Amino acid sequence: MNWFPLYNSLRVAAVSSVIVFFTGIAAAYYIAKLPRLAKGILDVVLTLPLVLPPTVVGYLLLLVFGPRRVVGAWVLAQWGVKLTMQWWSAILAVTVVVFPLMYRTARGAFESFDETLAHAGRTLGLSNTYIFWRIRMPYCRQGILAGTVLAFARALGEYGATSMIAGYTPGKTATISTEVYQLWRTGDDAMAIRWVLVNIAISAAVLLAVNLLEKRGKRSVRKDV
Amino acid sequence: MALTVDIEKKLGDFHLSVSLETDHEVLALLGASGCGKSVTLQCIAGIETPDRGRIVLNGRTLFDSEKRINLAPQKRRVGYLFQQYALFPDMTVEQNILTGLRSKPKAERRALLEQKLRAFRLDGLEKRRPSQLSGGQQQRVALARILASEPEVLLLDEPFSALDSYLKWQVELELLDTLRDFGGDVLFVSHSRDEVCRMCRSVCVLSHGRSEGKQAVERLMDAPETVSAALLSGCKNYSRIERVDAHHARCLDWGVTLETSREIAPDIAYVGIRAHSLRGPEQSGRNLIPCRVERVINDAFSVIFMLSTPGGAAGRSLLRAEYPKEDRPDFRASDEISLSVRPEHVLPLAGGGL
């Protein structure tokens, strides 16, 4: 059995999750401070990929990054690199699809933060960076951790946008989800079942991890009381 | 060495206009809830920005709307004790106090921390989380943390409101010691005249966002000048008046004319009488108020009589008299009696607020 799709899925999901972790948190933090109108508009725009069909997201990405489109053509002319049909093209698709999950859970977590703690930190002379990383983030870690794991799980399973922008090239851009589709299409049931089982095993492990994290969080709270 | 505040701020319909000055002292800011006490502290600390005015601390301008100066909270050196203490929940006691020491060289921090732990009797609690501490311990950690950052002024926002009443007394005594050792200026925000009497020598009354001039606490208790000050000092009985002469007022709500020791200036619109200033029953004499006993209420160590004054204005003619239990007169509901009040206990009061 060729394990490339598993390896490729994991690296795409891992890189996307890291990108989304920082951009999602930054967006949640700064957008919360904007005036109401700007906040409302940005909120809709940033959450849209969550509700749009992944194929629509993929199509929109191709409109921008396709080799004959604005950005795609420019990068091709400058560096001779095609932005689509590479293994890392999938990162682009997965990041956009998964971003709203991280953004929304981080925003929910930040909204529950007691702003008095930040005020207290400032009057004590603490820098805003220190307050963010040492006070705000630990306070919100439950929500942010949950968002990260959810984002990772969703990233592993992304199919629609990925297949449009990275396609399916065995040993190059194949992921678990595109591999399963390909095996089904070619009637290779035995292999398809194997990959389905692998996929179920990974997803179950991730969900188990989420549950364990939540339980541990609860226990530490109870101990504090 | 002083804190001078003269600021204005509009918050929706609420207009804050505060002017006060501390001079090497613990100054109380006394006001009912929602009168703008906390916003005032937040403006001084730099958490809120006033619309107009200036704030000067020991010669340093913290805020000046004309010169466009607005120092960041980090640079103000203002210690702020929040109502719920605002301890960082994910840090231990030790880490919380160390946040106040971050401007110090690393080598000195440990020794300063030990010193604060000892001064605030926190030895043995270093590794605890705030949620594992009692209210009094939490306040000690918060104070230790604030004083570690060496502020030039302390702002205390209702420091006892988060405490159970049986803890309050001990914490109050400790805070008195802490403030004496601190030695700098302190602004003590409270809605309780009792706390203010025990903690402070001077007081500034804040009502509906407006500050009245600074005065000695004894003066607020003996001779409050406005209705809002009298209310905050615990005075229970008020009547609209018509001025007869410099020392006589016709009390419209009680239907009697009373003599006052203090002069009744032309802008005086009310008189007030404290519940324990009413004495009697009397058959004859000066300053008699005929009343009818409506209700008798037993308090812990006193008896309270709710009275109506038949000669007064409808709906506003209520009086409240309070006697120590051992001196209680034997009034029953619907008795007709007369009570007296000494002229020095009839307080002429300016201003509305009722």
Q: Is the pLDDT confidence value at B352 over 80?
A: no
Residues of B in contact with A127 (CB under 8 A): 74
This prediction has a pTM of 0.81
- List the beta bridge partners of residue B242: B250
Average pLDDT, chain A: 88
Q: Do A124 and B84 touch (CB under 8 A)?
A: no
How far the first Cα of chain B sits from its last, in Å, is 38
What pLDDT, on a 0 to 100 scale, did the predictor assign at position B162? 81
Task: Give the pLDDT score at A104.
Answer: 92
Straight-line distance from the first to the last Cα atom of chain A, in angstroms, rounded to the nearest whole number: 52
What percent of chain B clears pLDDT 70, i.e. is strictly above it? Answer: 99
Closest residue of A to B46, CA-based?
A123
Q: Which of B73, B91, B129 lies closest to A123 in CB terms?
A: B73
Cβ atoms of B5 and B21 closer than 8 Å: yes
What mean pLDDT is predicted for residues B280-296?
86
Chain-wide mean pLDDT for chain B? Answer: 90
Q: Residue B347: pLDDT above 70? A: yes
Q: Which fold has domain A4-224?
A: MetI-like fold (1.10.3720)
| pLDDT number for residue B73 | 95
Nearest-Cα distance to chain B for A142, in Å, is 12
Residue partners of A216: CB distance under 8 A and separation at least 6: none
What is residue B93's predicted lDDT score, i.e. its pLDDT?
96
Say whether pLDDT at A127 is over 80: yes
φ and ψ at A111, to 5 degrees? -65, -25
pLDDT digits (tens, 9 = 90+) for A27-52: 999 998 888 899 999 999 999 998 99
* Residue B90 contacts A, CB cutoff 8 Å: yes
| Residue A112 sits at the chain B interface (C-beta within 8 Å) | no
**Residues whose CB falls within 8 Å of the CB of residue B156, separated by 6 or more in sequence, listed in order:** B81, B175, B186, B187, B188, B189
User: What digits encode the pLDDT tens for the residues A184-218?
Assistant: 999 888 889 999 999 899 888 888 887 877 666 55
What average pLDDT does the segment B342-352 reach?
Answer: 87
Q: Which residue of B has its CA nearest to A127?
A: B74
Please list every residue in chain B whose beta carbon sits closer than 8 Å to the beta carbon of residue A130: 102
H-type alpha helices, chain A: 4-31, 36-51, 54-65, 70-79, 89-111, 115-123, 128-130, 137-139, 141-157, 160-165, 176-185, 189-224
| Higher per-residue pLDDT: A157 or B188 | B188
Shortest Cα distance, chain A CAs vs residue B174, angstroms: 22
What are the CA-CA distances from residue A151 to residues A146, A163, B116 (Å)? 8, 19, 45
Tens of pLDDT, residues B218-237:
888 888 888 888 988 889 99
At A223 the pLDDT is 41
CA distance B74 to chain A (A): 4
- Chain B residue with CA closest to A135: the answer is B88
8 Å CB contact of B129 and A224? yes
- Interior/surface letters B16-50, b for 16+ CB within 10 angstroms, e for the rest: bbbbbbbeebbbbbbbeeebbbbbbbbbbbbbbeb
Taking an 8 Å cut-off on Cβ atoms, the answer to whether B45 and A119 are in contact is: yes
d(CA A93, CA A164): 9
State ipTM: 0.82
Helices (H), B82-216: 93-99, 106-119, 135-148, 165-182, 193-199
Closest Cβ opposite residue B99 in set A119, A124, A138: A124
* pLDDT of res. B127: 94
Q: Which helix (H) or strand (E) holds B44?
A: helix B37-45
User: Does residue B84 register a pLDDT over 70?
Assistant: yes
Cβ–Cβ of B90/A138 closer than 8 Å?
A: yes
Chain A contact for B103 (CB, 8 A cutoff): yes
Among B76, B78, B99, B158, most A C-beta atoms within 10 A, so best to mutate, is B99
Name every chain A residue with its beta carbon within 8 A of the beta carbon of B129: 224
**Mean pLDDT, residues B3-16:** 92
Smallest CA–CA distance, residue A162 to chain B, in Å, is 40
Q: Is B93 on the interface with A (CB under 8 A)?
A: no
Hey, what are B32's tokens? 């009912």
B314 pLDDT more than 80: no
| pLDDT, tens digit (0-9, with 9 covering 90-100), for A46-101 | 999 989 999 999 999 999 888 888 888 888 888 888 888 888 889 999 999 999 99
Judged by a CB distance cut-off of 8 A, whether residue A127 touches chain B is yes
Q: Say yes or no: A125 contacts chain B, CB-CB below 8 A.
A: yes
Average pLDDT over residues B173-179: 90
Among chain A residues, the shortest Cα distance to B75 is held by: A125
Say if residue B354's pLDDT is above 60: no
A116/B contact by beta carbon, under 8 A: yes
pLDDT at residue A221, rounded to an integer: 47
Nearest CA to CA, how far is A150 from chain B (Å)? 24
For residue B102, give how far its alpha carbon lies from the nearest alpha carbon of chain A (Å).
8
pLDDT digits (tens, 9 = 90+) for B18-45: 999 998 899 999 988 888 899 999 999 9
Q: Which sequence spans correspond to the domains of chain A? A: 4-224
A173: left (phi over 0), alpha (psi -120 to 50) or beta: alpha
- Left, alpha or beta for B58 (phi > 0: left; psi -120 to 50: alpha)? left
Among the residue ranges A179-188, A204-213, B66-75, the one predicted with the least confidence is A204-213
Contact list in B for residue A139 (CB cut-off 8 A) is 89-90
Q: Which residue has the higher pLDDT, B1 or B76?
A: B76
Say if A133 is an interface residue toward chain B (CB within 8 Å): no
- Chain-chain contact of B86 with A117 (C-beta, under 8 angstroms): yes
